[in-house]
A = this chain, B = another copy of it.
């Protein structure tokens, strides 16, 4: 039998932290060695405590789970990261995995799945919720699934705020024609033909 799996829990919600801790602490081979309430603290504690893995929420103040994951992975190749999210449609799934996360589970997952995920990741394997795995596969089939460019995303974000094309142009210091170009391209990528649907779809996918 290996030594105990040392875990750092990072989530801004006290209730969720307590839940993860309660579920994990009940397992004899898992020990919770610390808790962080935001992304920055997660990075600090991860580097100070060097746990086997960090169970990390995606949406946190000060530093998102993605960014925190990237920073931890940059500075340590022993600390693995298991990301938790509420929304399976979250676009951050891809970025978290790119950032070096070893697992991605839904908060709606049953306790056994979380615990099994912790053990898998600690053993060097990958842990994915079925719903998330399915989504990854479907994204693989679609070559350019979302992949909005920086500018397109910026424009769409301002559209969501209700700005007109002209106003967006002024805000970004470009011509209205440019704004329209970005929008038309975003429409094509999203498979829609009006700004409102583009915004709601982008929101569903966590793009903006």
Q: How many copies does the complex hold?
A: 2
**Cβ contacts under 8 Å, A197 to chain B:** 160-162
CA–CA, A108 to B203, complex, Å? 22
Assess whether A23 is interfacial by the CB under 8 Å rule. yes
| A196 lies within 8 A of chain B by Cβ | yes
Interface residues of A in 11-35 (CB under 8 A from B): 12-23
A132-160 interface mask toward B, CB cutoff 8 Å, 1 = contact, 0 = none? 00000000000000000000000000011
Known: A162-B200, A200-B162. A108 touches B19 (CB 8 A): no
Complex CA–CA separation, A111 to B14 (angstroms): 6
Report chain B residues within 8 Å CB of A19.
Answer: 13-22
Per the bound structure, the CA–CA distance linking A162 and B200 in Å amounts to 8
Q: Which residue of B lies closest to A193 (CB)?
A: B162
Min CB distance, A59 to chain B, in Å? 9
Q: How many angstroms between the C-alpha atoms of A3 and B197 in the bound complex? A: 54
Q: How many residues of A are in contact with the other chain, CB < 8 A?
A: 35
Question: Chain B residue with minimal CB distance to A26?
Answer: B18
Contact residues of A between 45 and 98, Cβ < 8 Å to B? 84, 86
The yes or no answer to A109 lying at the interface (CB within 8 A) is: yes
Residues in B whose Cβ lies below 8 Å from that of A195: 196
Query: A107 touches which one: B15, B160, B198 (CB < 8 A)?
Result: B15
A183, chain B: closest CB distance, angstroms: 11
Q: Which residues of A contact B (CB under 8 A)?
A: 12-23, 84, 86, 107-111, 114, 159-162, 164, 192-200, 203
With A14-B110, A15-B114, A19-B20 known, 9 other A-B pairs at CB within 8 A are A13-B108, A15-B16, A15-B23, A15-B107, A21-B22, A161-B200, A162-B193, A162-B196, A200-B203
